[in-house]
Structure 1
């Protein structure tokens, strides 16, 4: 079972041309399930719907942009799940914010795979260097949401997203239960990148990316696939790697690299 997470960079840069590069990258990876962030909707169009149509997948989407935000011609941004298999239902929860103009949401999709129910989650936490104190309440709400929706399924919960936090941060430690109690008792999420090539730092925010040449931030691993403890082998992480790490027809698909992991079906 191949899982992918990717921040698609909204409608920034040459976004019309980037759509083709994103679709081509996803087709080459051929994921079974995707968690996508910064997915735009505007003028009756939705990037998740467009990608799902091209790839022959099911989809669901949750708006992150606040409902009271003045949009005009600007796109609405959200998170999406794409799946090779039917999505039986989907739910969402708003995450706590300190700025009323900011919107953060976590999306859950209950996916009917051939081997049973997979609880899939995706989210995008607040971006701010040094903003751990802002993301910690979001992580606690996310963990509660995962425990409510994802603990009674055939497969363990899979949590994907741009968490804007590095692996040794308090945010990731709370989700994984490393060196601290987990945010929700009994909910332990394993960072799939621990099964990657040890020599690969897994930077998803990387100055190799053509859009990052002038970034003031260091190379960082801030995008994750986190997986609950496997259920009698089902959902056990087998491997992890990056994708979207090269241009498509001389165009970078996104300002982030994607993360791909293989789970035991």
Structure 2
């Protein structure tokens, strides 16, 4: 069966987040994905961005909050906002599990892998550490994520890995899973998902460094029919996120 998969880092509550929320919804509504892996999802005051998106799009959802959000909260000077990963799905979530990714205590901001058994597939979304000079940490996190995901037969793994596709960090992961972008017969161009456009306003003083760091990986039977980027232009003048999304058209075997 054909499945449209997306992964997208939503840039938490940074920038004009209320306006960005509407732009994010617009992109998702236009694309109508079957499965979406989301990172940097906010929750506050009884409101959850993933829940709101799922309600608006008539999708099922599940989310996992960071167990150590203080480092995030200090960045926006608001101790009340949670952050986490979420999955949106065309099908009900039958099972879920959370993997806390390994990290030294001084860098711990609660990075996670979130698993859901939903419809025809097992689906995971993850967010690896982004701190500079932490190649060894990301390598360990990718290895833990690979071990976690390999328990399943057919599995789709998505997320913001904060590492480029040929990096040392992802070497073990690449040995077990296929990168949908490179497996597509005619990969779309351009492919960068972070800092990809000179007009992007959400730079926060950093040096421009264009890279593809957001992925859809496939483990087990299945084929990649198409890949593309999304959310890479303003919606009514508002850029949805500081990341572009990845959209993949897959063919997977429905076990039922």
TM-score surpassing 0.5? yes
Show the counterpart of 1:220.
Answer: 211
Of 206-215 and 85-94, the range deviating more from structure 2: 206-215
Number of aligned residues: 242
The DSSP-based 3-state class of the residue aligned with 1:219 is coil
The DSSP-based 3-state class of the residue aligned with 2:202 is helix
State the distance in 1 between where 2:240 and 2:117 align: 28
State the distance in 2 between where 1:102 and 1:196 align: 38
Q: Tell me, yes or no, if structure 1 residue 168 matches structure 2 residue 155.
A: no
State the distance in 1 between where 2:70 and 2:196 align: 35
TM-score by length of 1: 0.86
Cα deviation, residue 229, structure 1: 3.3
Equivalence map 1:121-200=2 (5 Å): 121-148=124-151, 150-151=152-153, 156-177=154-175, 188-194=176-182, 195=184, 197-198=186-187, 200=189
Runs (5+) with no aligned partner, structure 2: none
Show the counterpart of 2:192.
Answer: 203
Structure 1 contact 79–123 (Cα < 8 Å) conserved: yes
State the distance in 1 between where 2:140 and 2:110 align: 14
The DSSP-based 3-state class of the residue aligned with 2:194 is coil
Show the counterpart of 1:24.
Answer: 26
Instruction: Indicate which of 236, 254, 257 corresponds to 2:223.
Output: 236
TM-score by length of 2: 0.88
The DSSP-based 3-state class of the residue aligned with 1:169 is coil
Query: Cα distance 1:28–1:100, how it changes in 2: closer, same or farther (>3 A)?
Result: same
Instruction: Indicate which of 110, 117, 121 corresponds to 1:118.
Output: 121
Cα deviation, residue 196, structure 1: 6.4
State the distance in 2 between where 1:77 and 1:168 align: 29
Cα deviation, residue 82, structure 1: 0.2
State the distance in 2 between where 1:96 and 1:121 align: 17
Runs (5+) with no aligned partner, structure 1: 178-187
The DSSP-based 3-state class of the residue aligned with 2:148 is helix
